[in-house]
Structure 1
Amino acid sequence: MAKVKFKIPVKCGEKFELSVEDIASSGDGISHYKGYTLFVPQTVKGDMVFVEVIKTTPRFGVTRLIKLITHSADRTEPECPIYFECGGCQLQHIKYDEQMEFKKKAVKDSLERIGKIKLEFKPEIIPARQPFFYRNKGIFSLKRTRKGLKVGFFAKGTHNVVDIKDCPVLLEPINKIKEAIRRSIENKNVSVYNELHHKGFLRSLIIRQSAKTKEILIGLVTTEGNFDSSVIQDIAEINNTLKGNYKIVGIVQNINSLKTNIILGTENRLLWGRDYLNESLGGINYQLSLTSFFQINPYQTETLLKTVEEMLTGVKGTILDTYSGIGSISLYLAKNSVSPIIGIEENEVAIEDAKKSAERNGIKNCSFLAGTTEKHLKNFEGSSDTKAIILDPPRKGCSEEVLNSVLKIKPERIVYVSCNPSTLSRDLNKLCQEVYCIKDVKVIDMFPQTVHMETVVLLEKREINKKIGR
């Protein structure tokens, strides 16, 4: 007998009331109408709303919020005046305690649904000490309009630039420096790139700051070409022209002439000062270049470093730190350990930063390998010296090749650090099938006001004939 085709009970343009039942992983509210799932952006569980249907698919529909009829007790007023336009944050309208519950549930649900893992304990959630003014890097898009220059972030799901003066999740000096550079760009009439026509010069503005040393590094992403020297001089003099103690230490031009949405190109040119800033975390002084990866929340990064260290307490033998970036975890561990720590990273600029940081901190038991994790892990497959592996991949998670190598090496412990619960759960499913069990899960709120989080998982070899944590 043929399966009865489900008839969508709503049409685009229809308007009605809904009760918001839950929050999706995207941060949108979830409701149901005659058994049909509808997403309601910018709502909270417990809201009663009046909406218009704007999109339908066989599995779900999307609505536009017209009116809030009844406010949920978990709703709060956003700190940002353009929050509902900007796509940078997704949870500012939700009270912070409820944001924590949302993130803890997101990890638990992902482990169960994707990883097929039922934990025998509750993951610990570690809230941010500073839910606002924490982000140490701003990447700003630019667009010239008849009303002037827009400098800000993209609206959700679009490439429309939302102009922003003061972003409440950025370290405050970044906002001040951005506005000063906006004035320089406008006063000097710098050509701004048009993404639609692929013409123009200045594509993006990057500002990095150390919360500890206060040093600031400026990145100007452009197509091929040169700045007028007066523009660079203007930016360099912000240290003197702005009221306050600002420490711009370098201005770097990054060249990206491709027709692409990818922000950074492969070539950097030093225009003024030096091409790195000094960062200090957990007693380690790091060198940080413009294109090197570093966690964007310095306050929670210290919590992350301590968490990884605690999970590896007592390990005697070589520790491999894969996807190591500038060596933030490797160097922190090596500082308080006699075990050999080996970082693996394919970004050559980050590797250079890591080696210089090891040298300036006098750390001798930490080394770094340039190249992919896939390539280097193979060289450890026959070794019994590797006692622990740290997996800290990008959002796409680990490749099948990496996971296979880890299972062949069979370290005593694995610490998996992830910013994506879905790929984390997928990878844990493979690691936990026979060899490993989950001993601890901590959810660190590295990205307050957004749907993103950092999850740290400790895995240990299974005891013989005993299944634990799965």
Structure 2
Amino acid sequence: MKKSVGTALRIPYGYLPKLWGINRSTYRPFRTIASQNMSGTKRPGDGLGPKAGGKRWKRNKTAQEAKSSLRSTGSHEEILLEDVKFLLGKSQESGSSHPQPQSAVPEQFSQVELSISMLASTGDGLAVSQDGTRVYVVPFTVPGDTVIAKIVKSFSSYSMTDLIEVKEPSNERSDDLIFCKYFGRCSGCQFQMLSEEFQLQHKKNVIAKAMQNFSNMDPSLIPPIGEVMPSPLLRGYRTKLTPHFDGPRRGGFKEGAPIPDIGFQLKGRSFVLDIEDCPIGTDAVRGGFRSQRDYVKDNLQTFKRGATLLLRESTERIFSSAANDEEDPARAYTEIKTCITDSKALVTEWVGESKFASPAGSFFQNNNSILEKFTAFVQEQLVIPRLPGQDPSESYLIDAYCGSGLFSICCGHGFKGILGVDISPQSIESAKKNAIENGIHNARFITGNAEAIFADVEFPPEYTSMVIDPPRKGCDELFLSQLLQLGPKRLVYISCNVHTMARDIGWLVQQDLGKDYNIDKIGGFDFFPQTHHVEGYAVLSKNG
């Protein structure tokens, strides 16, 4: 008897072979990769949830804005659909000149053999049906793979599937690279079977497609996409993870209740995959993960329902008498790293020689290994080119969405004045303290109102640079309109969602006040190796 999708999603993963009517002993999901991995993503998100601090600039929409809410949201589904449309169009071009009728929707839980054609921006492999009218979305696959997949859910033009077996691996696939036993089941990582070079090139293509599909711009206005800067660490880089577990809807855990699965979401399912270790995390975070699992097991009855666990690395530097040794400053201190699990406790991060303290539950970039190189690049882009005779010291920096002050402090050297703006009072308080701690005395931090975020800015726009680093949803039109009214000479947009970045940049340069802006550079940083996420940047400068 067939089961419904809803029923399937609520049963244990190990029961699926029986549900699908196949022998469990021959069931080998992800045949060549089943023995490996997992991880979190980034603020896409701080484990597997949304960007912490994502409520910044949140406000009620005006009636006019509500009517114009057809702007792209950069959602997973929207991004995937663009790739589906592209692949179907390409298939039609290479086939008959006459459009093919839509094929019948494949039967749920049926199996199909597929050849993977491309890698979607969402990190899944895509294959086209033989008649060219349907796309199959197959996780953990590589272009060139021939696979057996099982239909899970179908939509009008595409079907979501589970990978059952890789029959013939692509030349691009290297399963020897896989380093986590949960890979192929956990939703955190998608690319452990791919080389670093392939991942970087794919992420560069993702940025290019985002600009093409979401910016609504003439392609001639888009500069060539720059190379994606690699991460120094390909594993053991995440300084924050948030595993979770489910619990009873009411009444809490009873005495003798079984220990729930603790980990991250199973790929393509709504329940949690039990995970004992995540090698994407730093050593401190991995140790904290094991300790927190034990804590939940020993104290299960104290939880009224399921919970999300916080694992955040904190770094203390112990300086030695060699602190004045300028020849080798790295020997001047040792680092002690611990895992903080209390969201209100202060954690310390170091970016080069800059020290940051903030509550463990607040947002901070989660790949510390790349931050020094990243902030140095941003600082370089914020410099306004000057003509001979112009005073270079007459320069100002606005740090919108400033958080705890990362860009104000790491990129603020050489500016006559700095203004950090954020809607979170807690973030502003952290930024003020961090600026003092790092000897930044020309910075002012204010809690901005979303309706008039730049009301207190008195910097001359022709000498002002601005860096903005919004949450995944990007900026709303009210914020962008105020930015154009201010008219800073130099703008550096940083984004964990290159699709909303493309949307916002395209909107900016097509407004009357934005037509004087040129897009100088677009590219990315690989903040999250082994995942489909890429940190994007766009650099704009104003003529005149």
Could you tell me how far apart the structure 1 residues matched to 2:441 and 2:375 are? 19
Q: Report what 1:96 is aligned to.
A: 196
Q: Tell me whether 1:387 sits opposite 2:464 in the alignment.
A: yes
Residue correspondence of structure 1 range 18-97 to structure 2 within 5 A: 18-33=114-129, 34-35=131-132, 36-77=134-175, 78-97=178-197
Instruction: Measure, in 2, the Cα distance between the counterparts of 1:437 and 1:72.
Output: 41
Structure 1 unmatched runs, 5+: 196-202, 215-244, 255-267, 269-274, 464-470
Give the CA deviation at 1:251: 5.8
Indicate yes or no: 2:232 matched with 1:129.
yes
One-letter code aligned to 2:197: D
Say if 1:406 and 1:391 are closer, same or farther in 2 by CA, change over 3 A.
same
Q: For the structure 1 residues 139 and 58, does the alpha-carbon distance in structure 2 shift closer, same or farther, using more than 3 Å as the test?
A: same
Greater per-residue strand proportion: 1
Shift of 1:427: 0.6
Cα drift, residue 19 of structure 1: 0.9
After superposition, the Cα gap between the structure-2 partners of 1:32 and 1:249, relative to the gap in structure 1 and judged at 3 Å, is closer
- CA shift for structure 1 position 110: 0.8
Letter in 1 for 2:294: R
SS in 1 for 2:147: strand
Whole-Å separation in 1 of the counterparts to 2:148 and 2:268? 23
Report the alpha carbon displacement of residue 312 of structure 1 after superposing the two structures with TM.
1.3
Contact 2:384–2:489 (8 Å) recurs in 1: no
Name the aligned partner's letter for residue 309 of structure 2. Answer: L
1:435 counterpart = 2:508: no
Partner letter of residue 105 of structure 1? N
Indicate the structure with greater helix content.
2
1:317 and 1:339 in contact (8 A); partners too: yes
Mapped to 2, the partners of 1:427 and 1:15 lie a distance apart of 41
Q: Which has the higher contact order (CA 8 A, sep 6+)?
A: 2
Decide whether aligned partners of structure 1 residues 100 and 193 sit closer, same or farther in structure 2, where only a CA change above 3 A counts.
Answer: farther
Look up the SS of the partner of 2:234 in the other structure: coil
Deviations 1:309-350 (A, max 9, x none): 01012474221110011001111122x213211111112222
| Letter of the 2:311 counterpart | I
Report the 3-state secondary structure (helix = DSSP H, G, I; strand = E; otherwise coil) of the residue aligned with 2:499: helix
- Greater CA drift, 367-376 or 400-409: 367-376
- Measure, in 2, the Cα distance between the counterparts of 1:305 and 1:30: 35
Deviation by residue 1:189-215 (Cα, 9 ceiling, x = unmatched): 4423435xxxxxxx221121135749x
2:206 to 106, 109, 127: 106
User: Which of 401, 413, 416 pairs up with 1:323?
Assistant: 401
Q: What is the SS of the residue equivalent to 2:527? A: coil
- Work out whether residues 310 and 340 of structure 2, in 8 Å CA contact, stay in contact via their aligned partners in 1: no
2:490 pairs with 398, 413, 425, which one?
413
Q: Is 1:456 matched with 2:534? A: no
Question: What secondary structure sits across from 1:306 in the alignment?
Answer: helix
Q: C-alpha separation between the residues in 1 aligned to 2:372 and 2:218? A: 29
Q: Which amino acid aligns with 2:488?
A: P
Moved more, 415-424 or 171-180: 171-180
- Mapping of residues 41-440 of structure 1, within 5 Å: 41-77=139-175, 78-115=178-215, 116=217, 118=219, 119-143=222-246, 148-195=259-306, 203-210=307-314, 213=317, 248=338, 252=342, 268=344, 275-314=345-384, 316-334=394-412, 336-380=413-457, 384=461, 387-433=464-510, 434-440=515-521
CA contact (8 A) 2:223 2:519 kept: no
Q: Is the 8 A contact 1:29 1:41 kept in 2?
A: yes
Closer/same/farther in 2, CA of residues 376 and 288 from structure 1, 3 Å limit: same
Q: SS of the counterpart of 2:296?
A: helix
Aligned alpha-carbon RMSD (Å) = 2.6
Per-residue deviation at 1:394?
0.4
Tell me how many residue pairs correspond in the alignment.
Answer: 403
Deviations 1:345-373 (A, max 9, x none): 11222211111111122210111111345
Distance between the aligned counterparts of 1:213 and 1:82, measured in 2? Answer: 34
**1:227-284, Cα deviation, whole Å (9 max, x unpaired):** xxxxxxxxxxxxxxxxxx97558663x6xxxxxxxxxxxxx5xxxxxx2122211321
Contact 1:351 1:369 in 2 (8 A): yes
Rounded Cα–Cα distance in structure 1 between residues aligned with 2:498 and 2:213? 11
Contact kept? 2:310, 2:341, Cα under 8 Å: no
AA at the equivalent of 1:180: S
In structure 2, list runs of 5 or more residues that go unmatched: 1-98, 248-252, 319-334, 386-393
Shift of 1:159: 4.0
CA gap of 1:367–1:249, structure 2 versus 1, over 3 A, is farther
* Counterpart for residue 446 of structure 1: 527
Give me the whole-angstrom Cα distance separating, in 2, the residues matched to 1:49 and 1:416.
Answer: 40
- Is contact 2:207-2:523 (8 Å) kept? no
Q: AA paired with 2:264? A: F
Per the normalisation by structure 2, the TM-score is 0.69
**TM-score w.r.t. structure 1 length?**
0.79
Given that residues 104 and 123 in structure 1 are in contact (C-alpha distance below 8 angstroms), is that contact kept between their aligned partners in structure 2?
A: yes
| Percent identical | 29
CA–CA separation in structure 2 for the residues paired with 1:420 and 1:15:
34
User: Equivalents in 1 of 2:297, 2:460: separation in Å?
Assistant: 59
